[in-house]
C-alpha cells in the first residue's frame, strides 16, 4: 500500500520524543508537512532539527505551546491555523496508589489527557468539515479498557478519550472527515522505561526489567514485549491516509493483544 499524504499539513501533539516523534516521522515519510509540538520552544526546536536530520529539511516545523492551557493552545493554533491531520498524542502518566491520587492530580490528568485534545478538535474540525477531508486521531491506551490499579486517573482519562473520539466522529458524520482513537499498548519510550523502573527493581538490567514488568504487571500481553513506537506510528499513518476512508468512530487496537477481547 502507498500512503500518500503529499500536500497535507499535520499537527502531532507531544511530538518531541517517543511515540509522537515516531508518528511525526512516519507522516513526513508519507509526504505530509508536520508540526512538532511540546511545551518549550527550545525543546521543540531541537526535535525539529533532529527529525529533519533524519528525514530531510522542510518536512517539519515548530509549534510550541502548553496545550493543557487555553493560552498555550492559542499559541499553537496561531502557528498552525489550519490542519488536515490532527494527532492528539500528548499525555501524562505515572504510578500512584489509588487512594493517594489528589484532586490536583485528577485535574492535571484531565486537562492534559482529555481537554488538550478537545480544544484542538474544536479548532480544527470545522475547517476539515468545510473542506470535506480531514483526519483526527486520538492516541488512547489499553489502560482505557483494562484500568490499572496503580494509575486509575490515567486509565479514566484515556477512557474519556475513547468517548471523545466516538462523539466527534458522529459530529463529522457524512463530511469526509474521520475521527478515530488508537489504543496503544505498553510501548517502549523514555517515559515508559522510567515507569517500568517505578514498578520493578531498579538494579535490574533493562532487558530483565522489561521482562519482569510484562510478566508481573502486563501478563495478558500476547506480544510479551513492549511495543516499539514505530509500530504505533505505522497504524496512525494508515488511519491518516485516504486508504482509511471507511474507518471512523473506531477504537483501533495496537496493543500487542493485551486487551482480552475480540472487539475493542
* Active-site annotation holder among 109, 124, 154, 258: 154
In this predicted structure, what is the pLDDT of residue 158?
Answer: 98
The closest of 195, 191, 223 to 209, measured between CA atoms, is 195
Q: What is the pLDDT of residues 187-196, one digit of tens each?
A: 998 888 888 9
The pLDDT score that the predictor gives to residue 192 is 85
User: Do the Cβ atoms of 121 and 136 come closer than 8 Å?
Assistant: yes
What's the pLDDT band for 147 if we cut at 50, 70, 90? very high
* Position 12 pLDDT exceeds 90: yes
Q: Which residue has the cell 484515556?
A: 158
pLDDT of residue 33 exceeding 90: yes
> Of residues 144 and 264, which shows the higher confidence score?
144
The pLDDT of residue 89 is 98
Range 223-227 contact pairs with CB under 8 angstroms and sequence separation of 24 or more: 223/185, 223/256, 223/257, 223/258, 224/256, 225/256, 226/186, 226/187, 226/188, 226/192, 227/184, 227/185, 227/186, 227/187, 227/188, 227/254, 227/255, 227/256
Q: State the Cα–Cα distance between residues 127 and 115, nearest whole angstrom.
A: 19
pLDDT of residue 185: 95
* CB proximity list for 216: less than 8 A, separation 6 or greater: 199, 200
Distance, CA of 82 to CA of 198 (rounded, Å): 40
State the pLDDT confidence band at 24, using cuts at 50, 70 and 90: very high
Q: Edge-to-edge, what's the strand order for the sheet holding 177-184? A: 60-62, 33-36, 9-12, 85-88, 134-141, 177-184, 251-254
Q: Look at residue 136 and tell me whether its pLDDT is greater than 90.
A: yes
Contact 96, 140 (CB under 8 A): no
- Tell me if residue 154 is catalytic: yes
Contact between residue 177 and residue 184 where contact means Cβ atoms under 8 Å apart: no
In this prediction, residue 131 has a pLDDT band, given cuts at 50, 70 and 90, of: very high
Q: What gap in Å lies between CA 46 and CA 209, rounded to an integer?
A: 30
Grid cell for residue 49:
532539527
Distance CA 140, CA 19 (A): 12
What is the per-residue pLDDT across 35-66, written as a single tens digit (0 to 9) for each?
999 999 999 999 999 999 987 778 999 999 99
CA 236-148-249 angle, to 5 degrees, is: 35
Q: Domain 9-187+228-254 belongs to what topology?
A: Rossmann fold (3.40.50)
Local confidence band at 154 (pLDDT 50, 70, 90 cut-offs) = very high
Residue ranges of the domains in the chain? 9-187+228-254, 190-226
pLDDT above 90 coverage of the chain, percent: 89
pLDDT for 168: 99
Amino acid at each position: 500500500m502507498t500512503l500518500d499524504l503529499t500536500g497535507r499539513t499535520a499537527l502531532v501533539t507531544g511530538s518531541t520524543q517517543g511515540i509522537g516523534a515516531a508518528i511525526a516521522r512516519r507522516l513526513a515519510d508519507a509526504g505530509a508537512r508536520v508540526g512538532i509540538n511540546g511545551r518549550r520552544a527550545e525543546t521543540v526546536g531541537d526535535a525539529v532539527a533532529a527529525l529533519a536530520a533524519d528525514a530531510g529539511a522542510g518536512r517539519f516545523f515548530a509549534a510550541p505551546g502548553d496545550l493543557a492551557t487555553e493560552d498555550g493552545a492559542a499559541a499553537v493554533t496561531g502557528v498552525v491555523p489550519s490542519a488536515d491531520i490532527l494527532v492528539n498524542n500528548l499525555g501524562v502518566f505515572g504510578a500512584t496508589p489509588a487512594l493517594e491520587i489528589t484532586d490536583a492530580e485528577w485535574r492535571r490528568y484531565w486537562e492534559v489527557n482529555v481537554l488538550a485534545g478537545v480544544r484542538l478538535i474544536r479548532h480544527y474540525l470545522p475547517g476539515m468539515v468545510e473542506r470535506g477531508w480531514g483526519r483526527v486521531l486520538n492516541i488512547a491506551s489499553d489502560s482505557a479498557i483494562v484500568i490499572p490499579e496503580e494509575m486509575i486517573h490515567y486509565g479514566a482519562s484515556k477512557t474519556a478519550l475513547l468517548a471523545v473520539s466516538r462523539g466527534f466522529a458522529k459530529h463529522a458524520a457524512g463530511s469526509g472527515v474521520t475521527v478515530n482513537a488508537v489504543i496503544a499498548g505498553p510501548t517502549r519510550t523514555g517515559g515508559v522505561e522510567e515507569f517500568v523502573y517505578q514498578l520493578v527493581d531498579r538494579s535490574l538490567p533493562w532487558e530483565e526489567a522489561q521482562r519482569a514488568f510484562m510478566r508481573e504487571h502486563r501478563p495478558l500481553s500476547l506480544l510479551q514485549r513492549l511495543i516499539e513506537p514505530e509500530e504505533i506510528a505505522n497504524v496512525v499513518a494508515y488511519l491518516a491516509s485516504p486508504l482509511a476512508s471507511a474507518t471512523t468512530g473506531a477504537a483501533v487496537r495496537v496493543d500487542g493483544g493485551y486487551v482480552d477481547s475480540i472487539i475493542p
